Amino acid sequence: MTTATLNVPVVDDSRFFRNLITAMAVILVAGFVVQLAMGRSSFGAPLIVHLHAVAFMGWVSIMLAQVWLVAGGNVAGHRKLGYLAVAWSIGLLILGPLVTIAAVQTARTPFFFQPQHFLIANPVGLLGFAGLFFAAVALRRQTDWHARLHVGAFVMLMGPGFGRLLPMPFLTPYAFEIAVLIALIFPVIGIVRDWRVLGRPHPAWFWGIGVMLVTTVLARAVGFSPIGEAIYAAVTAGGSLAGTDGLAFPPPPPM
């Protein structure tokens, strides 16, 4: 990744990123709230699901605190909270795959996803998040890269909440890919804003978009390959789904 200094005007981006991250967080949380209000979600889920929810909603809270601290001029507080963010991200990288495996093993895969693809796509997306997040941390002194890469990392985690606001059953068999393409609206907003304010889009946006697209293609390629089939067989071995077709869509829930 090149991080050469851009010949652009010095602009205070903090309020823009505060507003963008806040809007993203509101949309993400709204997805879960809407499903709960409509009775499509409940708190009657396994413990691993609750731990996963606490970890990821905690992450959203940390990101909100970070952008509001910077926008308020509290850079020192932002840096201190950054240590917690790094430690917290490790928990996400552990709990994310665990809850995905648990969902597949207990036949809780959403009916608009193929279990085998779902099993691969979620961890691959988390790897994309990790790449962008730790790149942002490494470039923390280059605030133009740091902030934009963090937006890209945040977008990588929006799928579960953002997808709940989309008509996912009507998007099969490409619900996952379509949701990713729609989520590109957030880095595109950043590109348009940079073009208007700085005269050119910052390359960090294209790194974020590139990671989103590469991980999406990789997830489908692996998920529909013999490798994906072998992983699915290993995960479901000994359970009620052992020997089943991992690329068959689960039945929709009863009305």
- pLDDT above 80: residue 16: yes
Residue ranges of domains in the chain: 14-236
Calpha distance 38→59 (Å, rounded): 25
pLDDT above 90 for 37: no
Whether 254 has a pLDDT exceeding 70, the answer reads yes
What average pLDDT does this structure show over 55-70?
95
CA distance 219 to 121: 5
- Model confidence at 4, in pLDDT bands (50, 70, 90)? very low
Decide if 172 contacts 196 (C-beta within 8 A): no
Query: Hey, what are 131's tokens?
Result: 């790449």
Q: pLDDT of 174-233, one tens digit each? A: 999 999 999 999 999 999 999 999 999 999 999 999 999 999 999 999 999 999 999 999
pLDDT for 36 beyond 90: no
Largest CA distance in the chain: 61
pTM (two decimals): 0.91
The residues, ordered by sequence, that sit 6+ positions from 166 with a Cβ below 8 Å of its Cβ are 175, 178, 179, 182
- Rounded Cα–Cα distance for residues 11 and 219 (Å): 37
- Asked if 124 contacts 222 with a C-beta cutoff of 8 angstroms, the reply is yes
Digit-coded pLDDT (tens) for 77-120: 999 999 999 999 999 999 999 999 999 999 999 999 999 999 99
5 confidence band (pLDDT: 50, 70, 90): very low
Residue type for position 180: V
> In the numeric block, which tokens belong to residue 28?
């993400």
Selection from 167, 162, 186, 181 nearest residue 33 by Cα: 162
Position 31: which residue type? G
As a whole-number percent, the residues of the chain with pLDDT over 70 amount to: 93
Per the listing, tokens 């994310």 go with: 96
Q: Output 9 or 246, whichever has higher pLDDT.
A: 246
